[in-house]
Amino acid sequence: MIDLVLSDEVAAARADGTPVVALESTIITHGMPHPQNVEVARQVEQDVRDAGAVPATIAVIQGKLHIGLSSDDLDWLGQAEGVAKLSRADFAACLAQGGTGATTVAATMIAARHAGIEVFATGGIGGVHRGAETSFDISADLNELAQTPVTVVAAGAKAILDLAKTLEVLETLGVPVIAYGQDAFPAFWSARSDFKAPLRMNSAEEIARAHRLRGGLGLPGGQLVANPIPQEAEIAATELAPIIAKALFDAEKHRITGKAVTPFLLQRIFEQTDGRSLTANIALVRNNARLAAQIARKLGDLSA
Ligand code: PSU
Ligand code: MN
């Protein structure tokens, strides 16, 4: 019933059992400026290939769900105007109406599961926003992690969020939060936050086994793998703190709400760091893509 369009390499991978890694597209349309967005998307896809898996960038184009984008699709999407930012609530509506939308973490997880893909790499997940006690702004990504059995590799949650509340909600929802190779929960542009991650794993194999065992227990939901940004690429949290505070202040002043909040904050931080936030963002996404490919390969070695 759903019009699925597989890229050639994803179709081939399915036929011969090569592991596949899902990639989101909101980071392309709403997370990074053109033309870097398209360059990064290609680079991240190549990182997945170099690590022995096949990339499947996911998006809805004119009512069709694409699992893997062609080079032309990627070029087009990277500069298209008015592309929706799709999450759980509006995914099916976009398909029904023949619309075009980029998939957030939540929507990419839904699509990945639908296509039989178990691992997904992104930059950072959405979470509980600062001031959520009055705004109620909690990303649908968190609920999705509780419901959809996909392992998501991210660099933690963005420091624009309330990390303490984000970790609390993830715990409440029963989502395993696994720091990779360190104890601290990473903070996106910075390798370490002040918070300890609930779980720590040091190998892709452990993460893959935990994924399988959750399935074996019949638990719904996925895992959040929090992979710290490589140290040479990080921006110190102390340097970012005033920039984030200013961005949040501006968002309030301009009465930015709903889906527009995260893209607005990212753009402001990009401007205020003279583009250094983007350089860091690129390094961490690539790092996540490589780890996700390793996990996908280990999952392929373990029986379902
Ligand atoms: N992290 C980034 N760039 C992004 C996003 C996350 O570095 O563009 C996107 C992801 O698609 C994530 C979404 O799912 O922001 C969260 O949006 P919201 O806070 O509105 O739920
Ligand atoms: Mn929100």
One domain for residues 88 and 122:
no
Mutate to test the pocket of ligand 1, among 24, 25, 27, 30 (most ligand atoms within 8 A of CB): 27
Q: What is the mean pLDDT of residues 71-97?
A: 97
Angle CA(225)–CA(188)–CA(28) in degrees, nearest 5? 90
One domain for residues 102 and 229:
no
One domain for residues 40 and 129:
no
Counted domains in the chain: 2
27 C-beta closer than 6 A to ligand 1: yes
Among 232, 138, 131, smallest CA distance to 191 is for 232
| Domain end among 117, 139, 157 | 117
DSSP letter string over 4-69? EEE-HHHHHHHHHT--EEEE-SHIIIIIS-TTHHHHHHHHHHHHHHHTT-EEEEEEEETTEEEES-
Quick check: 279 and 186 in contact, CB under 8 A?
no
User: What integer pLDDT is reported at residue 304 of this predicted model?
Assistant: 67
Please name the residue ranges forming H helices in the chain: 8-16, 26, 36-50, 71-79, 91-96, 105-114, 132-135, 140-147, 163-172, 204-216, 237-253, 261-272, 276-301
One domain for residues 127 and 246:
yes
Q: Maximum Cα–Cα distance for the chain, whole Å?
A: 53
Quick check: 204 and 195 in contact, CB under 8 A?
no
One domain for residues 141 and 214:
yes
24 C-beta closer than 6 A to ligand 1: yes
**CA 160 – ligand 1 centroid, Å:** 11
Using a pLDDT cut of 70, give the percent of the chain over it. 100
Q: What is the mean pLDDT of residues 17-23?
A: 97
pLDDT in tens, 259-293: 999 999 999 999 999 999 999 999 999 999 999 99
**CA 152 – ligand 2 centroid, Å:** 19
Tell which atom from ligand 1 comes closest to the C-alpha of 102: 11
> Within a 10 A sphere around the Cβ of 138, how many other Cβ atoms?
18
196 is catalytic: no
One domain for residues 194 and 304:
yes
Range of the domain at 44: 1-117
277 C-beta closer than 6 A to ligand 1: no
One domain for residues 170 and 211:
yes
pLDDT band of residue 22 (cuts 50, 70, 90) is: very high
Q: What phi, psi does 277 have (nearest 5°)?
A: -65, -35
| Domain end among 117, 147, 181 | 117
pLDDT in tens, 209-241: 999 999 999 999 999 999 999 999 999 989 999
137 C-beta closer than 6 A to ligand 1: no
At 63, the amino acid letter reads G
Q: What is the mean pLDDT of residues 56-75?
A: 97
Q: What is the mean pLDDT of the chain?
A: 96
Tell which atom from ligand 1 comes closest to the C-alpha of 281: 7
pLDDT band of residue 88 (cuts 50, 70, 90) is: very high
| Domain end among 83, 117, 151 | 117
The secondary element (H helix, E strand) that includes residue 180 is strand 177-180
Distance CA 174, CA 192 (A): 23
Distance CA 280, CA 288 (A): 12
One domain for residues 280 and 148:
yes
Ligand nearest to the CA of 263: 1
259 is catalytic: no
One domain for residues 159 and 201:
yes
227 C-beta closer than 6 A to ligand 1: no
Nearest Cα residue to atom 10 of ligand 1: 104
One domain for residues 249 and 152:
yes
- Among all chains, which residue has been given the structure tokens 């392309």? 28
Among 131, 129, 199, smallest CA distance to 171 is for 199
Distance CA 158, CA 129 (A): 10
148 C-beta closer than 6 A to ligand 1: no
At 173, the amino acid letter reads L
Would the pLDDT of 159 be above 90?
no
One domain for residues 202 and 270:
yes
CATH assignment of the domain containing 64 = 3.40.1790.10
Distance CA 234, CA 82 (A): 32
pLDDT band of residue 119 (cuts 50, 70, 90) is: very high
Would the pLDDT of 303 be above 80?
no
Whole-model pTM: value is 0.97
**CA 266 – ligand 1 centroid, Å:** 9
Nearest Cα residue to atom 16 of ligand 1: 126
- Among all chains, which residue has been given the structure tokens 């936030």? 277
Q: Which of 85, 118, 144, 158 is catalytic?
A: 158
One domain for residues 128 and 183:
yes
Q: What is the mean pLDDT of residues 156-174?
A: 94
